[in-house]
Structure 1
Amino acid sequence: MLIDTHSHLFLEEFSEDLPQVMERAREAGVSYIFMPNIDSTTIDSMLSVCADYPGFCYPMIGLHPTSVNETYEQELAVVREQLAGDNQFVAIGEIGLDLYWDKTFLKEQLLVFEKQIEWALEYRLPIVIHSRDAFEYIYKVMSAYKNTPLTGIFHSFTGTPEEAAKLLEFEGFMLGINGVVTFKKSTLPETLLTVPLERIVLETDSPYLTPVPNRGKRNESANVKDTLVKVAEIYRMPSEYVSQVTSGNALKVFGIRK
């Protein structure tokens, strides 16, 4: 069993061949795909895909940090409205901080991040955290919630052993590992040797971050198997065992029973 804990298959990159993409995922052994929202413009397409593939695709709701700007209050109101409705969301995500592209709205990003964490606690949902060039900020915000029931995933973890150790302090959280671990210059393999297998989940971040050997092409959920093979190699464990443990980790976070 394989689980893609982070995939944006509802984006227009997949509008031409989504059924084939889903079929390839199933053939690769993927049994669950978890879909993080981006902003108000992506909710309908995400829910539509999840409705077309029930029991296979599961939606999250949240406002992505790169979509935080002057209109953040309206965007947050949409998230709140979705949560208050008859929702099927399995997490609040993806949320967090992104200071790679632009630091203009740092204050707003922090406010939006914390507000959505509060909602996660209110609705008893896990969170999926996006962090780019923002480790210290993320760690500082999260430290205030150490003694709460908050759980979730630090999506697309690519950090140092020191950063991994700091994130592992948050006991209800997993590190999301994707195609970056297969990249030639990635230092992630060394870092993973300091992380227990019981604390990682696998993801693709489709259509981005395609693992070797398909790097440079559009990513899709079937490619989670390439990340699995690399992770198994790093841990020197059979792929079947690694898929079993990481899948169990994912289902635990999202509160889904097999």
Structure 2
Amino acid sequence: MNLTDTHAHLYVEAFEEDREEIIERALAAGVKRFFIPAIDASYTKDMLALKRKYPQLMHLMCGLHPTHVKADYEKELEHVSQQLAKGGYVAVGEIGIDLYWDKSHLQEQTDAFRRQIRMAKAHKLPIVIHCREAFDEIFEVLESEKGPELRGIFHCFTGTYEQAQQAISYNMKLGIGGVVTFKNGKIDQFLNKIPLEHIVLETDSPYLAPVPYRGKRNESSYLREVLKKLSEIYGNTQESIASATTTNSKEVFGI
């Protein structure tokens, strides 16, 4: 089994006590590749330390999370630009628009999203999108930035079938995680209409743990529960889905 967790915040405080054990459990479960999204500048040091400790396993992204776009976002974007210039990053993410918690910074979030897309293009990197209650706003930006150089992952996809098709039209893979196991998750109702070539797996750990761990801290080993659910949805073996989704992740990230 060769699984790829395309979205895991392994550097955050939630894993401070047992990070090594969690990584060992993931490896034992067949997760061999970990892609690590950024939040803001305050976590860069911890992300780099994780990469140094596990250089073959961990692949870092760089970006400003939309919920962390505040009055000082220009300073944060400068940090992203400086980090990308140093090299070693595999994507710009997670970036996007989040209107669930706070709508007051929509203009700043939109500006930060667009500018980071352009940074990704300049460095020939994919993007990883965070979208919460903002599909129309996200699609408006993607429409204006579309082209062969625009590509990436629509992280934690929770939209409709039509929105899935629209995301795919912008060269985005759909990041599928714990939500697909939820009774009210809804994406399980149409996912089998989406060709497997457009799907990658993720946990978003420590968030959004799949059933039967829902409500608990998520971890990369729980990717097996997502895999199990996709095996049921697609009527394919777990091995074939693991192989296909890992291949898809290699297509996105180039490694």
Farther-moved stretch of structure 1 (142-151 vs 35-44):
142-151
Q: C-alpha deviations, 1:225-257, integer Å up to 9, x for none?
A: 11001011100111100010001000110001x
- Give the superposition deviation at 1:194: 2.0
Q: C-alpha deviations, 1:98-136, integer Å up to 9, x for none?
A: 000001110000100000000100000000000000000
| Residues 1-258 of structure 1 mapped to structure 2, 5 A cutoff | 1-85=2-86, 87-170=87-170, 172-256=171-255
Q: C-alpha deviations, 1:69-103, integer Å up to 9, x for none?
A: 10001111111111112x21000000000000001
Please say if residues 159 and 191 of structure 1, whose CA atoms lie closer than 8 Å, have aligned partners that are also in contact: no
- Runs of at least 5 residues in structure 2 that lack an aligned partner in the other structure: none
Please say if residues 25 and 222 of structure 1, whose CA atoms lie closer than 8 Å, have aligned partners that are also in contact: yes
- Give the superposition deviation at 1:151: 1.1
Over aligned residue pairs, what C-alpha RMSD do you find?
Answer: 0.8
- Give the superposition deviation at 1:146: 2.2
- Give the superposition deviation at 1:199: 0.2
Farther-moved stretch of structure 1 (157-166 vs 239-248):
157-166
- 3-state DSSP class of the match of 2:190? helix
- Residue 57 of structure 2 aligns with an amino acid whose one-letter code is F
- Runs of at least 5 residues in structure 1 that lack an aligned partner in the other structure: none
Please say if residues 72 and 112 of structure 1, whose CA atoms lie closer than 8 Å, have aligned partners that are also in contact: yes
Work out the CA distance in 2 between the residues paired with 1:185 and 1:129: 22
- 3-state DSSP class of the match of 1:6? coil
- Give the superposition deviation at 1:208: 0.3
- Give the superposition deviation at 1:179: 0.3
The aligned length equals 254
- Give the superposition deviation at 1:216: 1.5
- Give the superposition deviation at 1:165: 1.5
Please say if residues 153 and 176 of structure 1, whose CA atoms lie closer than 8 Å, have aligned partners that are also in contact: yes
- 3-state DSSP class of the match of 2:93? strand
Work out the CA distance in 2 between the residues paired with 1:83 and 1:147: 21
- Residue 184 of structure 1 aligns with an amino acid whose one-letter code is K
Work out the CA distance in 2 between the residues paired with 1:231 and 1:151: 23
> TM (normalized to structure 2)?
0.98
- Give the superposition deviation at 1:180: 0.4
Please say if residues 164 and 191 of structure 1, whose CA atoms lie closer than 8 Å, have aligned partners that are also in contact: no
- Residue 159 of structure 2 aligns with an amino acid whose one-letter code is G
Work out the CA distance in 2 between the residues paired with 1:169 and 1:135: 14
> TM (normalized to structure 1)?
0.97
- 3-state DSSP class of the match of 1:32? strand
- Residue 111 of structure 2 aligns with an amino acid whose one-letter code is L
- Residue 34 of structure 1 aligns with an amino acid whose one-letter code is F
Please say if residues 207 and 218 of structure 1, whose CA atoms lie closer than 8 Å, have aligned partners that are also in contact: yes
- Aligned-pair identity (%): 50
